[in-house]
Structure 1
Amino acid sequence: MVANLETHFGTITALIGDPIRSIVLWTLLDGRAYTATELAICADTSPQNISMHLSKLVQADLLTVESQGRHRYYRFSRQEVAYAIEALANLISPKKEVNMTPAVVSDIKYCRTCYDHLAGKVGVQLTEKLITQNMIELQNKTYSLTTKGNKFFKSFGIDTHELKNNRRVFAKPCLDWSERKYHMAGSLGAALLDKMLQADWLRRKKNSRAIVITSTGQRELYNKFKVAL
């Protein structure tokens, strides 16, 4: 007998709800692939235990594993998994205490990666500016490019035609757990983040999803998008 939707949903939520597996999934939100040893350290558990948890996540198609030389690397099987994990964070009450130092909380909320696109206060502001400047517009729960936006992204070195031909969603709203507003996800959001990292507007923080905005980035984000930081 084929399991019904409720059974499948219950299985997935049970997998995500386990404390060890939830830490693994949260860790992978920075978009990088990790070895089992690295994830065991993050989750403060043994190699044997993390192996069991990773096997369950792979079997459920939440994670995929790739071998390179002697190492096996784990990452999300598809971007929808990352969106779902990030969205779950919106269920955390703003009144709940977060077990982080104020500086870490501030950095994460201000500017961070959400899988492979920009999030936090800066990510939300950037998306809002793209809308108010008539570069993107919301249609049927996805963002579409305007003529002005198409010209801008082309001049910015982003091939939007190629992105639209990918199997991935081009641009979509992603609810930001810290701002409780939307930032832009999808292949366009990922390409935009990549460009800003390559141009040294932004820099990744080691062992963190927090993003540092350089002095060049502050200037160019205002010049190009009118985002005042």
Structure 2
Amino acid sequence: MKEGPDIALIGSLIGDPARANMLTALMGGRALTATELATHAGITLQTASSHLSKLEAGGLLSQRKQGRHRYFQLAEDEVGLMLENLMGFAASRGMNRHRRGPKDPALRKARVCYNHLAGDYGVRMYDSLIAEKQIEVTGDDLALTPDGQNRIEALGIDYSALKKSRRPICRTCLDWSERRSHLAGSLGEALLTLFIDKGWAKREANSRAIRFTANGEKAFSELFPQ
């Protein structure tokens, strides 16, 4: 028997087309019901329930109950990061499941990657924070600098709350459309929440795309110059 992590098991869980479609649907960061996930996967509810049980047993999904309904979501940040990296690898090899459609430009410009901003805007934000020395890179580690801490607190983000979280404050995530890094971690999530709460951006219905308003575009460019 071979020893070490069982990547074949993870591969088999993700490799089924129906399960892959359900996982991709959950990359939007919203918890969905089994019925909604069955629709995304194009399968019956009974079949979806079987797939969801396997994904939950494999540690890729978790569920929560609200009244009579059960909602499914990605188990943790690492699952979203893994899926985004796989999407980037597939895209770099030309392994696309469909022809490009009208939604692709919007997704490539700005979209939700589980709980943070991805696409061109996500990469621009990360690059700007690095260039302005708000974030420093040491090997594979990222950290907010004192200037960065002051800046996010000036924006209304509670840095002390980010520090209390068990999740990393800053981490990189490989962007599947840009093939470069964008900002993940609790700071990445807090910044996306900030943009939406301020009315600078909103999520498109039934899509991972994020649409910035004219004022939002201006504010974003001032905060994160290229």
Mapped pair 1:201 → 2:200: yes
Query: Post-superposition shift, 1:97?
Result: 5.1
Mapped pair 1:73 → 2:71: yes
**CA distance in structure 1 between the partners assigned to 2:74 and 2:20 by the alignment:** 13
**CA distance in structure 1 between the partners assigned to 2:200 and 2:191 by the alignment:** 11
Mapped pair 1:24 → 2:22: yes
Q: After the TM superposition, which of the residue ranges 31-40 and 130-139 deviates more from structure 2?
A: 130-139
Mapped pair 1:5 → 2:4: yes
Amino acid at match of 1:88: L
Query: Post-superposition shift, 1:161?
Result: 2.1
Superposition RMSD in Å: 1.6
**CA distance in structure 1 between the partners assigned to 2:159 and 2:211 by the alignment:** 26
Q: After the TM superposition, which of the residue ranges 80-89 and 133-142 deviates more from structure 2?
A: 133-142
Please, which of 31, 35, 59 is the counterpart of residue 33 of structure 2? 35
Q: What count of residue pairs does the alignment treat as equivalent? A: 225
Query: Post-superposition shift, 1:141?
Result: 1.4
Using structure 2 for the length normalisation, give the TM-score: 0.95
Amino acid at match of 1:135: Q
Please, which of 68, 85, 88 is the counterpart of residue 86 of structure 2? 88
**CA distance in structure 2 between the partners assigned to 1:98 and 1:200 by the alignment:** 33
**CA distance in structure 2 between the partners assigned to 1:214 and 1:189 by the alignment:** 20
Using structure 1 for the length normalisation, give the TM-score: 0.93
Corresponding residue number in structure 2 for 1:54 = 52
**CA distance in structure 1 between the partners assigned to 2:214 and 2:169 by the alignment:** 30
Corresponding residue number in structure 2 for 1:123 = 122
Secondary structure of 1:189 counterpart: helix
Corresponding residue number in structure 1 for 2:162 = 163
**CA distance in structure 1 between the partners assigned to 2:45 and 2:97 by the alignment:** 27
Secondary structure of 1:66 counterpart: strand
Change (3 A) 1:108 1:54: same
Query: Post-superposition shift, 1:93?
Result: 4.0
The percent identity for this pair of structures is 39
**CA distance in structure 2 between the partners assigned to 1:160 and 1:202 by the alignment:** 22
Q: After the TM superposition, which of the residue ranges 216-225 and 198-207 deviates more from structure 2?
A: 216-225
**CA distance in structure 1 between the partners assigned to 2:80 and 2:96 by the alignment:** 23
**CA distance in structure 2 between the partners assigned to 1:155 and 1:100 by the alignment:** 43
**CA distance in structure 1 between the partners assigned to 2:126 and 2:40 by the alignment:** 32
Amino acid at match of 1:58: E
Q: How does 1:143-182 map to 2 (within 5 A)?
A: 143-182=142-181
Amino acid at match of 1:87: N
**CA distance in structure 2 between the partners assigned to 1:93 and 1:27 by the alignment:** 17
**CA distance in structure 2 between the partners assigned to 1:164 and 1:100 by the alignment:** 43
Unaligned runs of 5+ in 2: none
**CA distance in structure 1 between the partners assigned to 2:218 and 2:96 by the alignment:** 34
Secondary structure of 1:192 counterpart: helix
Please tell me whether the aligned partners of residues 91 and 177 of structure 2 are also in contact (alpha carbons under 8 angstroms): no
Secondary structure of 1:103 counterpart: coil
